[in-house]
């Protein structure tokens, strides 16, 4: 039984659910989940939890980063190049300077309208299902607030349909397709997303990600090493329990009004500050799970290794 995380470098043209199905077959294990969807067209970081690590997915830090390619002069119904073309207007005279003047409008806390073809639910129905049946109009799609911490130009390609490569760092719930669409609308020429690579997601980066070919080869060599269950949780403060506290905590008991060795994390996170979640370790330095500090008490939230 494998317990831990694998960061997959998702290939194009498959869904996150497809990745889960493929890993279940490769690992011969059913209990697998992912830490955030990724459009089929997109590639890059897809955090995967295996075994009891699936119970830790909700504690992973927020934040994602992408390298996006935006094509100007084309508008599609999906806001990316996989969709039906709604308008096609070459714009060879568009300059990088014109684009750069507008980029500050897409930084900080902004509002955006998600694409019609997205997994958001309205009245219990997925937007993409409504869009395929022609049962959704733009005014029905709820506007949401998202956080863009960085948008930086990487490359500019001229032509009838100029393309812009940008690095984007953002919070959860941000649609890069919407940024491409809205930028094109502000320029008056239209635009759509023509490429997307996720380089960071919820504590995992591209450098530590594996392709499916690499996973298969490592399994063949019996040398696949998954990331530890507490990988990605190091932004949380940690606590170390003594032997008696460890036994009681693992039985689900709240540890009340006792002395603890609590170590703050050098990494700050709104998750840890707001909810007081704590990485919890036993007397032998083994990772036990996650606690919540309520007043001066330690309440077990996720117990990975209960004592029988």
* pLDDT per residue as tens digits for the range 97-124: 999 999 999 999 999 988 876 667 676 7
pTM of full prediction above 0.85: yes
pLDDT at 141: 78
pLDDT at 296: 82
Return d(Cα 202, Cα 114) in angstroms, integer: 21
% of the chain exceeding 90 in pLDDT? 74
Greater model confidence, 56 or 295 = 56
The mean pLDDT value for 122-144 works out to 71
pLDDT at 269: 45
Q: Is 39 a catalytic residue?
A: yes
Return d(Cα 249, Cα 289) in angstroms, integer: 10
pLDDT at 305: 78
Return d(Cα 127, Cα 240) in angstroms, integer: 46
Averaged confidence pLDDT in the chain: 89
pLDDT at 230: 94
pLDDT at 50: 96
238-303: CATH, from 3.60.21, 2.40.30, 2.30.130, 3.30.420: 2.30.130
* CATH 3.40.140.10 given to domain 64-201: no
* pLDDT per residue as tens digits for the range 261-272: 566 555 544 444
pLDDT of residue 274 exceeding 70 = no
Ranges in the chain annotated CATH 3.30.2350.10:
4-61+203-220, 64-201
Ranges in the chain annotated CATH 2.30.130:
238-303
The mean pLDDT value for 215-233 works out to 94
Q: Which of 18, 11, 13 is CA-nearest to residue 32?
A: 18
Q: Name the percent of the chain in helix, strand, coil, to the closest 5.
A: 25, 35, 40
pLDDT of residue 275 exceeding 80 = no
pLDDT at 262: 63
Q: Which of 84, 99, 80, 96 is CA-nearest to residue 40?
A: 80
| CATH T-level fold of 4-61+203-220 | Pseudouridine synthase (3.30.2350)
Say which of 9, 18, 39, 93 is annotated catalytic: 39
Do residues 193 and 177 touch, judged by C-beta distance below 8 A?
A: yes
Q: Which residues contact 291 (CB under 8 A, 6 or more apart)?
A: 239, 249, 277, 278, 280, 298, 299, 300, 301
Return d(Cα 69, Cα 88) in angstroms, integer: 17
Any idea which of 1-10, 17-26, 260-269 has the lowest mean pLDDT?
A: 260-269
Q: Which residues contact 50 (CB under 8 A, 6 or more apart)?
A: 2, 3, 4, 5, 6, 23, 27, 29, 31, 32, 226
Any idea which of 2-6, 34-38, 219-223 has the lowest mean pLDDT?
A: 34-38
């Amino acid at each position: 039984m494998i317990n831990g995380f694998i960061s997959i470098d998702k290939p194009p043209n498959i869904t996150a659910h497809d990745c889960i199905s493929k890993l279940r077959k490769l690992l011969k294990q059913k209990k697998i989940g992912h830490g955030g969807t990724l459009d089929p067209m997109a590639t890059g970081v897809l955090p995967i939890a295996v075994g009891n690590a699936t119970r830790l997915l909700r504690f992973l830090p927020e934040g994602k980063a992408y390298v996006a390619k935006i094509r100007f002069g084309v508008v599609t119904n999906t806001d990316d190049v996989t969709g039906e073309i709604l308008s096609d207007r070459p714009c060879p005279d568009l300059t990088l300077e014109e684009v750069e003047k507008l980029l500050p409008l897409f930084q900080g806390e902004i509002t955006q309208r998600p694409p019609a073809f997205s997994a958001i639910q309205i009245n219990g129905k997925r937007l993409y299902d409504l869009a395929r049946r022609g049962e959704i109009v733009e005014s029905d799609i709820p506007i949401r607030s998202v956080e863009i911490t960085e948008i930086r130009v990487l490359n500019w390609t001229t032509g009838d349909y100029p393309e812009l490569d940008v690095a984007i760092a953002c919070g959860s719930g941000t649609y890069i397709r919407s940024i491409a669409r809205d930028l094109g609308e502000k320029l008056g020429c239209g635009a759509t997303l023509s490429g997307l690579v996720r380089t960071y997601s919820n504590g995992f980066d591209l450098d530590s990600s594996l392709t499916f070919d690499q996973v298969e080869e490592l399994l063949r060599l019996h040398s696949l090493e998954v990331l530890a269950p507490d990988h990605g949780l190091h932004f949380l403060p940690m606590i170390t329990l003594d032997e008696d506290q460890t036994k009681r905590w693992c039985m689900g008991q709240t540890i009340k009004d006792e002395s603890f060795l609590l170590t703050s994390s050098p990494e700050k996170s709104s998750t840890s500050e707001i909810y007081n979640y704590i990485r919890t370790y036993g007397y032998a330095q083994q990772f036990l799970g996650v606690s919540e500090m309520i007043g001066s008490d330690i309440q077990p939230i996720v117990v990975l290794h209960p004592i029988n």
